């Protein structure tokens, strides 16, 4: 029995990250779930048939993390852990029937877009990309005047890396009216900041690699749903396609999850401070961050998020005069001049990471060349600011 079932009042998320997925209170047994390394389980024979079967079907080390994530997302069922965020994307996209229509944000995570585009090119599905912040445009793609209604609406909010905010509740209701199911990639927000199931989504997706693990030392993904039929279909897909988590990674993910609330609290607070300071810096042409009152997504974010996350993007101004640099070149200079921020892809770790996104060839060309994404970690905010200030200042020389 999980802790939340024993108690009358539901526990807050800050407590669930610590308390969920503990083993039974048995004298002299460990307080943490063990790391179980086995590809098979005693089953047939004198002991009778077991439930676990084989290591691709289940592993006891997945269970506590899946239970904790299900609770955190407010689901009635445990989540499903996958080998990576993209393995989870692959499983979720398998819910689109052959030839069905998938509506996806034009600024989804690049890997999700590449996968959907390749499936469309092979004729497995029809892909319609759309500006997810434009609710009317999404409605038009869900049920166009000509062409089939959508089978699946993919949501990501805020989007990576444009930080556009979708009206999740309105879009989910419209998708359901059109007969589509809704998958929401909640990687940027985590369930502590946004709970897509409570806003109507059918399935929530995570790159567990990011905030949930939080230490940039594992690659994992997850799906969560309250629909038993959908969960059974996804579990079957995971078992047959084999995108399963390694037990050590699963163990590390639960260990990381224990501090999620503290990490989010710190990094969100720092992101607000840095966004405000960057927005008045002369080398910064613009800041994208839903926490700024001036941001186009601010009101929507306030309505559906608890805080604003800790990813922000800046567009670096070109440098005039004799040395003349494009915004992209100036951005590369800044990234190279940083000493504390780590110039690396990914996000959601304890350490602050920074990168110019268009250095990736798969990044959509609609992402500006001079856009730099900052994943704010848990370091002291004044140290983070001092490093940014000296790097921005290096363009003055
Ligand atoms: C990183 C990421 C993914 C992919 O996850 P992996 O663990 O790298 O496979 C999917 N969606 C978002 C929003 C991401 O940031």
Q: Quick check: CB of 352 below 6 Å from ligand 1? A: no
Q: Is 56 known to be catalytic?
A: yes
* CATH (residue range 11-257): 3.40.640.10
Q: Quick check: CB of 85 below 6 Å from ligand 1? A: yes
- pTM for the model stands at 0.95
The C-alpha atoms of residue 339 and residue 371 are separated, in whole angstroms, by: 20
Under the phi-then-psi rule, with left for phi > 0, alpha for psi from -120 to 50, and beta for the rest, what region is 103?
Answer: beta
pLDDT value of position 362: 81
Q: Which one of the listed residues 22, 52, 56, 169 is annotated catalytic?
A: 56
Residue nearest to atom 5 of ligand 1 (CA): 85
pLDDT value of position 43: 81
Helix (H, G, I), strand (E, B) or coil at 182: strand
The encoded tokens of residue 354 equal: 């920074």
Q: Quick check: CB of 211 below 6 Å from ligand 1? A: no
Ligand 1 centroid, distance to 91 Cα (angstroms): 14
Q: Is 306 known to be catalytic?
A: no
Residue 374 phi/psi, 5-degree rounding, is -115, 125
Residue nearest to atom 1 of ligand 1 (CA): 207
Question: Looking at domain 261-396, which of 3.40.50.11260, 3.90.1150.10, 3.40.50.1370, 3.40.50.300 is its CATH number?
Answer: 3.90.1150.10
Q: Which one of the listed residues 185, 202, 295, 329 is annotated catalytic?
A: 185
Q: Is 210 known to be catalytic?
A: yes
pLDDT value of position 47: 63
Q: pLDDT over 90 for what percent of the chain?
A: 90
Of the chain, the end-to-end C-alpha distance in Å amounts to: 63
pLDDT value of position 9: 76
User: Which helix (H) or strand (E) is 371 found in, with range?
Assistant: strand 371-375
What stretch(es) of the chain map to CATH 3.40.640.10? 11-257
The C-alpha atoms of residue 99 and residue 360 are separated, in whole angstroms, by: 30
pLDDT value of position 304: 97
What stretch(es) of the chain map to CATH 3.90.1150.10? 261-396
Q: Quick check: CB of 33 below 6 Å from ligand 1? A: no
For ligand 1, what atom is nearest to the CA of residue 219?
Answer: 7
| DSSP state, residue 325 | B
The encoded tokens of residue 252 equal: 């590390």
Ligand 1 centroid, distance to 245 Cα (angstroms): 15
Closest CA to 217 of 192, 246, 185, 188: 246
| DSSP state, residue 281 | -
For ligand 1, what atom is nearest to the CA of residue 209?
Answer: 7
Stretches in the chain below the pLDDT threshold 50: 1, 4
Among 155, 158, 160, the mutation site with the greatest number of ligand 1 atoms within 8 A of its Cβ is 160
Length, in residues, of the chain? 397
pLDDT value of position 150: 98
């Amino acid at each position: 029995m999980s802790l939340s079932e024993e108690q009358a009042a539901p526990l807050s998320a800050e407590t669930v990250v610590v308390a969920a997925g503990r083993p039974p209170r048995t004298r002299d047994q460990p307080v943490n779930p063990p790391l179980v390394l086995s590809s098979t389980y005693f089953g047939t024979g004198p002991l009778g048939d077991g439930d676990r079967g084989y290591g691709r079907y289940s592993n006891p080390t997945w269970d506590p993390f899946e239970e904790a994530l299900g609770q955190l997302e407010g689901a009635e069922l445990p989540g499903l852990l996958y080998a990576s965020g993209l393995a989870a994307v692959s499983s979720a996209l398998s819910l689109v029937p052959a030839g069905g229509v998938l509506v996806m944000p034009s600024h989804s995570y690049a890997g999700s877009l590449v996968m959907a585009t390749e499936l469309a090119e092979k004729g497995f599905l029809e892909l319609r990309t759309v500006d997810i912040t434009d609710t009317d445009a999404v409605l038009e793609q869900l049920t166009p005047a000509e062409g089939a209604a959508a089978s699946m609406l993919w949501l990501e909010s805020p989007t990576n890396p444009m930080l556009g905010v979708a009206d999740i509740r309105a879009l989910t209701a419209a998708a359901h009216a059109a007969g589509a199911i809704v998958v929401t990639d909640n990687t940027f927000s985590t369930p502590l900041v946004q709970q897509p199931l409570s806003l109507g989504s059918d399935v929530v997706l995570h790159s567990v690699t990011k905030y949930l693990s939080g230490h940039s030392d594992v690659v994992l993904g997850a799906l969560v749903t309250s629909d038993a039929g959908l969960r059974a279909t996804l579990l079957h897909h995971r078992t047959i396609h084999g995108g399963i988590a390694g037990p050590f990674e699963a163990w590390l993910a639960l260990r990381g999850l224990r501090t999620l609330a503290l990490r989010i609290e710190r990094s969100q607070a720092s992101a607000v401070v840095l966004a405000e300071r960057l927005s008045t810096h002369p080398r910064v042409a613009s800041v994208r961050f839903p926490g700024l009152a001036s941001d186009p997504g601010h009101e929507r974010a306030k309505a559906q998020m608890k805080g604003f996350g800790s990813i922000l993007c800046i567009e670096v101004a070109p440098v005039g005069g004799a040395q003349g640099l494009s915004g992209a070149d100036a951005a590369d200079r800044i990234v190279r001049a940083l000493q504390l921020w780590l110039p690396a892809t990914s996000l959601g770790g304890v350490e602050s990471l920074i990168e110019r996104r268009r250095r990736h060839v798969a990044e959509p060309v609609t992402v500006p060349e001079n856009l730099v994404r900052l994943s704010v970690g848990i370091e002291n905010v004044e140290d983070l600011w001092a490093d940014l200030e000296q790097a921005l200042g290096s363009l003055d020389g």
